[in-house]
Amino acid sequence: MSERPGWAAQIDLMAEQRHGRPVLTRRCHAGPLRIQKPFYPEDGTCHIYLLHPPGGVVGGDRLDMRVEAAANAQLLITTPAATKIYRSTGAGSEIDIHIRAADGASVEWLPMDTLLFGASRLHQTTTVELSSLSRFCGWEMVALGRPMSGDDYSSGQYRAQLRISVNGIPTLVERLSFSATDDIITAPWGLSGHRAFGALYAYPADRDVLTHVRQLLEAWPDEVTATLVDGFLVIRSLTARSHDLKERFITLWQRIRQMILGLAPCPPRIWAT
């Protein structure tokens, strides 16, 4: 029996509250997934930059990322650049993300966008396990092709699954699956020709948060929507360029962070580079 092609990489992180600040007490990795030294800005959160040294994911690669915040620990995880999914004529690529937050903990999962090259094949699974006393803010951003380089994403496949549970009960479950030739790419009920799309999730939220966000969204008519689902704020957006999507989500995150997490805006320094 032949071995699975590609390169497997895993990282497993856990933060615990020690002496008044969150400290990484578990940092296990295998293959090309690493983190830089944790940063502690003025908000008291542990900022972590997740690195994938190869710079891209090829067919057969599998990335397995696990992040856990113990009671009262505060974690923010981001990446220095987009995750590039390269073309493949054979095996697909897999990304598996598992996040857990205990009572009083907060996790912010804020990676840069996932860039799907033409002819790429990606299956991504995201699992978030929360307590009713924990807090979470995360986003997923996807860009199709590289129009400036002549890659119009004329072929390729993308499958994504998101499952968020609170106290072990599934609360938000989403699935998205398409090929580059499917109607969803161009249809008005789908992406309507937009090259970037994404969703931002925040918990816990209420009607006051939703009202505040909808007032902010008036600056982007017809391209952003917000709703409240069982205590989750869900914001979805379509844009022509991934850069615009990132700027939009960063702006929204800064405006709701205090309301969701009780923390003032404190963008990771790497976003300014």
Contacts of 134 (CB under 8 A, 6+ apart): 69, 101, 102, 103, 104, 105, 106, 107, 203
| pLDDT value of residue 154 | 95
Residue by residue, DSSP assigns 164-200 as EEETTEEEEEEEEEEETTSGGGTSTTTTTT-SEEEEE
Q: What pLDDT is recorded for position 222?
A: 75
- Within 10 A of 154 (CB to CB), how many other CB atoms are there? 11
So what's the pLDDT on residue 5? Answer: 67
Please state the pTM of the whole predicted model: 0.95
pLDDT in tens, the chain (273 residues): 344 568 899 999 999 999 889 999 999 999 999 998 899 998 889 999 999 988 899 999 999 999 999 999 999 999 999 999 999 988 999 999 999 999 999 999 999 999 999 999 999 999 999 999 999 999 999 999 998 889 999 999 999 999 999 999 999 999 999 999 999 999 999 999 999 999 999 999 999 999 999 999 998 877 899 999 999 999 999 999 999 999 999 999 999 999 999 999 999 999 988
pLDDT for residue 6: 81
Query: What pLDDT score was predicted for residue 1?
Result: 35
Return the closest-CA partner of residue 115 out of 79, 91, 86.
Answer: 86
Q: Which amino acid is at 9?
A: A
- What confidence score (pLDDT) does residue 2 get? 42
Domain boundaries, the chain: 8-193
Instruction: Compute CA 84 distance to the chain's CA centroid, rounded to the nearest angstrom.
Output: 14
The torsion defined by the Cα of 182, 83, 241 and 199, in degrees rounded to 10, comes to 70
Kindly give, in sequence order, each residue whose CB lies less than 8 Å from that of residue 220, ignoring residues fewer than 6 positions away.
Answer: 237, 248
| pLDDT for position 4 | 54
Residue 245: name the closest of 145, 146, 176, 142 by CA: 142
CA distance 160 to 125: 6
Tokens of 263: 């923390």
